[in-house]
Structure 1
């Protein structure tokens, strides 16, 4: 009987999948992947993760961070997306605050939900997942897109914080009871050689479908299956429902009011072999915390991790100079 039990245990597929929250680290015009070294980049980003984040990031970020805004204290990676604004009928702008996913602990200061899944929620564990390497980075989407440009980029009108469907290609310009969610699914196939590429995308191959489903095996050109990274960002657009009825609309910090220019950046920074240990484990979501196998931290520690502001400007109101938008009027 013991032999049979052991055989069954060995035959059980690994099912590791991570889902965790990260509080806000900073909101600034910085982008060390697309515009390295620039203080005051083309548009504003909402940034979470490790405190090694700065305009120029090189080397092993996992060894440079001293705190992180994420649940897992071994994760010093950085994750960022464009900011969403509400443009009132009078032409003024106000930044839309974000809030935590319903599956996360209470009290997280803004931030996002981050996923690392092996394949999808129904078929995790049937392929070997290789961790990203120090120095790895990638992006999904384009800030200049004028039409749908990647299958992993979606918007959801929330009836409550647990709503996941339908997934839409553009920003819902209407009253949504619990706000709007943006979803960014990154590619999950790597060429196994390059930590980056000139367009920050070509070293990856996208097999992503909607709702965390991958579409088949990785191609020979990109044979290494890595974790599918995904972000969910919940915007409190319901705070503006009364203004929407007066002719207001939501606009990304790129100037795009359709939502096609939604994009996200990822810069790997897990300490040591922690991500590989997680991907080789059988844990799912919160069961991966408290040393099983990953170290985790309290919400208070997540919220207390911050970095200094290097781009000093008003990011919350009409004073912020949104690119491509010259008619900004104060007096919201």
Structure 2
């Protein structure tokens, strides 16, 4: 695949500036603890709600990707894989049916901050506020090397990846998920035996704060939308949720899982990834020809401790349909490979240890400390 012209990055960056205005100040928080409240500026929320076409969209279209970083020293937005994965064709094999082929990464909240090391590398405070999970050091200056040297709130110490999403606000005050959240790693293609681990340093954005309500609802990653109590498939936050201790606001959203094999990132933070497509004449999901490498499909399953009157609930990026999230892979290579091979390729429904309770005979990928044995 030929390297795209740098001139193209100025055109693509309109889609890349997903957090295009200055956000609220950072909110330090320990995992599972309530953080001091801040209110996102009205101009920030307005700029990110609704369909692209407002002033922030025009601003994004006029800006260029100029911030260099340790992973992208020339600042053109293209981070080549080293080495690239070549000679792969999308697998059309149909292995024995297994209903599950997944494992969980259970990671707690670390902090919130108006940073985004993917969209705005080296530019602290440039983004709307994000809630970070996993790696404890993630900030605007994060790189593959810095994450590898950091700590983690994930159960598996080998998962040093950064996961983040727009901060949920209730009457302007942050509402942080409590305890380890569920981040599934699944097979997104029918041939689950063809899935391979993420390359170190791969990063991407799922969804967009500038998407319309219809684009959010029709997004290929949309699973159940916003839900609470008996209310499901909501594009926006429900007007109210049952005021019970066992009721939380939930969302599930899936990421693309087919990689071009060439770039760890591109200027729009999406073009190097694609969702599987249905093979003509079948019900099989396969990777498209231009993104032939099958990787794990990440699915966020987030739970926010808020219920009752939801009229004052927003995201730092805008209304409910502006939900999106980011992923920056910094797994220990051997740990990730062990979980992918045992659980996804092996067709198991695993927990964060890589253990399937319904198939105890298969054992676990990790020991009781969630480390390689």
Q: Which TM-score applies when normalising by structure 1? A: 0.68
Equivalent pair of 1:61/1:134 in contact (CA under 8 Å): no
Aligned residue for 1:75? 159
Aligned equivalent of 1:56, options 124, 131, 141: 141
Aligned residue for 2:81? none
Change (3 A) 1:217 1:94: same
Aligned residue for 2:256? 187
Matched, 1:293 2:360: no
Compute the displacement of 1:155 (Å): 2.5
Matched, 1:253 2:322: no
Gaps of 5+ in 1: 1-9, 88-92, 100-107, 299-332
Query: For residues 169 and 208 of structure 1, what CA distance do their matches in structure 2 show?
Result: 24
Matched, 1:133 2:205: no
The Cα RMSD (Å) is 3.0
Query: For residues 152 and 158 of structure 1, what CA distance do their matches in structure 2 show?
Result: 19
Structural mapping, 1:112-261, within 5 Å: 112-119=181-188, 126-149=192-215, 150-153=219-222, 154-159=224-229, 166-176=232-242, 178-207=247-276, 216-238=285-307, 241=308, 243-244=309-310, 248-254=311-317, 256-257=318-319, 259-261=320-322
Change (3 A) 1:97 1:58: closer
Matched, 1:274 2:335: yes
Compute the displacement of 1:217 (Å): 0.7
Equivalent pair of 2:167/2:176 in contact (CA under 8 Å): no
Q: Which TM-score applies when normalising by structure 2? A: 0.61
Equivalent pair of 1:84/1:96 in contact (CA under 8 Å): yes
Compute the displacement of 1:201 (Å): 0.5
Compute the displacement of 1:127 (Å): 3.5
Compute the displacement of 1:33 (Å): 0.5
Secondary structure in 2 matching 1:260: helix
- Structure number with the bigger relative contact order (C-alpha 8 A, sep ≥ 6) is 1
Query: For residues 277 and 120 of structure 2, what CA distance do their matches in structure 1 show?
Result: 26
Secondary structure in 2 matching 1:69: coil
Equivalent pair of 1:45/1:80 in contact (CA under 8 Å): yes
Query: For residues 215 and 180 of structure 1, what CA distance do their matches in structure 2 show?
Result: 33
Residue by residue over 1:70-114, the C-alpha shift from the partner in whole angstroms, topping out at 9 and shown as x without a partner, is: 111110001000011123xxxxx2222323xxxxxxxx3xx5211
Equivalent pair of 1:72/1:296 in contact (CA under 8 Å): no
Change (3 A) 1:32 1:278: same
Query: For residues 61 and 216 of structure 1, what CA distance do their matches in structure 2 show?
Result: 36
Compute the displacement of 1:206 (Å): 1.7
Query: For residues 98 and 146 of structure 2, what CA distance do their matches in structure 1 show?
Result: 31
